[in-house]
Amino acid sequence: MSGGDWSTFWRTFRVAIATFLLIFLSLKLLEWSSGKFANFMNTSRHYLLKISIKQHHSRATRTLNALPDFQPINYDKNFVNELVIAGWCLAGLFYLGQTQGNLDAIRDAHNHTSMLPVVTIITPENRLPLGRKIYDLTDDPVVGNFRFIGDLELYQMLLQRDYNDKTQADNSSIWRLLIDRDSQYYIFPSLPENAPPNVRPPLVIIQQSTAGEYVIILSPEPGPK
């Protein structure tokens, strides 16, 4: 097994042990509450009643006398036990799924561990407010005809990162395809290995062309330098 497989195995093992203990404690608590809890409450009430009578607290005595005796809880034991077991098992599975999802997202956000495909999008000129000329990477996109809403600095930052700059030793700006859904491409620049843990990459959504004007190239790894 690889390091990631062992980590997943031990995490699953710990959650399984915790789920077993929670199920055991929950069933014991239900068993105790159905009978012993009623006995405990009745014994406590009678003890307090004796004290209030000895100390001549008439109001407390009347209040305690008005309280009914607690009765053991009658319930379908098999049904409730199955409900408790199923509930804790579902909670454990939800926790494992959520944790694994977060770990997979962090892995795929970083270029050196990402399993998402490298993406290249080729479009006619001036159809997108991002992108470079194929034979002149220094020519910034013509943005005079576009309007923006939101964070201008974020857009300007993306203008400097809109192609895979493989001249950098860490391949710090490799665009990858997150998902292709509902006629939209969700792409993002992956993070370098030394990125701070609290950094998240921006996500760019591109509407697919119904006229077949876009060419999408997917690859498991960046091309040669």
Do 151 and 69 share a domain, yes or no? no
Residue matched to tokens 């405990």: 40
Three-state secondary structure call for residue 189: strand
Residues 101 and 182 in one domain: no
- pLDDT for 20: 94
Q: Based on the fold, state whether residues 8 and 87 are members of the same structural domain.
A: yes
Q: 171 — alpha (psi -120 to 50), left (phi > 0) or beta?
A: left
In this structure, the answer to whether residues 120 and 223 fall within a common structural domain is yes
Segment holding 5, helix H or strand E: helix 3-54
Task: Let me know whether 141 and 184 are in one domain.
Answer: yes
Listed residues 61, 92, 109: the one ending a domain: 109
Q: What is the pLDDT of residue 21?
A: 95
Q: Which phi and psi angles does 112 have, rounded to 5°?
A: -75, -15
Structural domains of the chain, count: 2
Together in a domain, 102 and 179: no
The number of beta carbons lying within 10 Å of the beta carbon of residue 176 is 23
Judge whether residue 27 has pLDDT over 80: yes
Please write the tens of the pLDDT for every residue from 174-189. 889 999 888 888 988 8
Out of 55, 79, 109, a domain closes at 109
Host domain of residue 179: 116-225
Same domain, 18 and 92: yes
Contact predicate 174/219, CB 8 Å: no
Q: What is the pLDDT of residues 85-118, one digit of tens each?
A: 999 999 999 999 999 888 888 888 888 888 899 8
Domain endpoint, select from 70, 93, 109: 109
Question: Is residue 152 domain-shared with residue 80, that is, in the same domain?
Answer: no
54-84 pLDDT, tens per residue? 777 777 777 766 766 666 666 667 888 889 9
